[in-house]
Structure 1
Amino acid sequence: MPFPGRYLSKMASLIPLIEDILPMILPASVAVTKAADILPPDTQAGGDGDRPEVRIIRRNAVIDKTDKMCTSILIVKPNSSSTVHHHGEQETIIYTVSGQGSLLSQPKGDDEEPERHELGPGDFAFIPAWTEHQAVNNSETDFHLVIIRTGGRPVEVDLTGWGGPQVEDVAKR
């Protein structure tokens, strides 16, 4: 009779192979998220003055479908910017759907300005893990971005500024 530890070792070596083959054998379903379920109705404040104007809109599009990637949208309203933030250990690809804007990335030194990357429709940007960045819209039209990240759920760590501490989440209090 073979030694049990050797048998378990051989079985453990098959696990990665099984994880690769299983999706080919078992049927999977396509997940669709409709734009109407993500994009809010017109968010510009009307002349009523009863509600503040929404300047940044973040919506999850595809999350928790796999542990390898997720996607969301970001709409930066005219003359607005996101907070300075990073996505933790997630690597990120940004696709510009419409509008014109800038992606600022963390300055190399304390006395330097952030690096500015101009983005327009069809442009892509890659953001490495832990890299501080900010989306800026200095135009008069909305700036629509699709954000694709590694990991099953988006991570967004808002900072008080470049190299600053994390913004305390008021909702958690």
Structure 2
Amino acid sequence: MGDHHHHDHDRSHHHGEPRWKHDGVRVIKGDQLDPNTAQTPGMFRQAAINAARVGAQKIWAGTVAIQPNAKTGVHHHGELESVIYVVRGHARMRWGDRLEYVAEAGPGDFIFVPPFVPHQEINASTDEPLECVLVRSDNEAVVVNITDVEPVEKPEEVYWVDPIHKHP
């Protein structure tokens, strides 16, 4: 099928109306992510989808890499909901008023972080980087660092149980 300028005929155009060719689906190449985003000590975030790059109004997406054995500071993301998908490595998440809860995740696992939950991301491996895809429910990557939270009790273990990971 030859090029018959279908993009000119696929929808009617009125003055001021966006054109699908420029305002439709966007592909952001993995080597073109933007490191100019909110950072947390111990992590390296890069934006793929945000307002500045693609005009996203309600979502933010990017990657995060945590060095072996690294732990982030305690933080939360305000009103945002976050989803973390583990691509490579072994993640440990701590959360709660005193970081008293803990769960672990590996490649293929999703992690959900609700709004305002104080948490700490940890690379549970001593020799392998932790690589994740991060998606948030707003186009700004809000990070509120919390400096006065330390775990004062022995953490309570919450086992990561799903159809793949059985309770020990």
* TM-score (norm. length: structure 1): 0.63
Deviation, 1:99, is 0.4
The reply on whether 1:32 has 2:27 as its aligned counterpart is: yes
For residues 6-58 of structure 1, the C-alpha deviation after alignment (integer angstroms, 9 at most, x for no partner) is xxxxxxxxxxxxxxxxxxx9634222221112388xxxxxxxxxxxxx94211
Aligned-partner Cα distance in 1 for 2:57–2:149: 29
**Residue 44 of structure 2: which of 34, 57, 60 is its match?**
57
Alignment of 1:1-173 (within 5 A): 27=20, 28-38=23-33, 55-64=42-51, 65-107=55-97, 113-139=99-125, 140-162=127-149
Aligned-partner Cα distance in 2 for 1:71–1:115: 26
SS for the counterpart of 2:78 is coil
- Where has structure 1 moved over 4 Å in runs of 4 or more? none
* Structure 1 segments unaligned to the other structure (5+ residues): 1-24, 41-53, 164-173
Distance change in 2, residues 1:100/1:160 (3 Å): same
> What code does the residue aligned with 2:149 have?
W
Assess if the C-alpha contact under 8 Å between 1:106 and 1:162 holds in 2.
Answer: no
RMSD between aligned residues: 2.4
Q: Percent identity?
A: 30
More helix by share: 1
For residues 92-144 of structure 1, the C-alpha deviation after alignment (integer angstroms, 9 at most, x for no partner) is 1111111012011114xx5xx52111010010111111111111013110001
The structure number with the bigger radius of gyration is 1
Aligned residue-pair number: 122
Deviation, 1:162, is 2.6
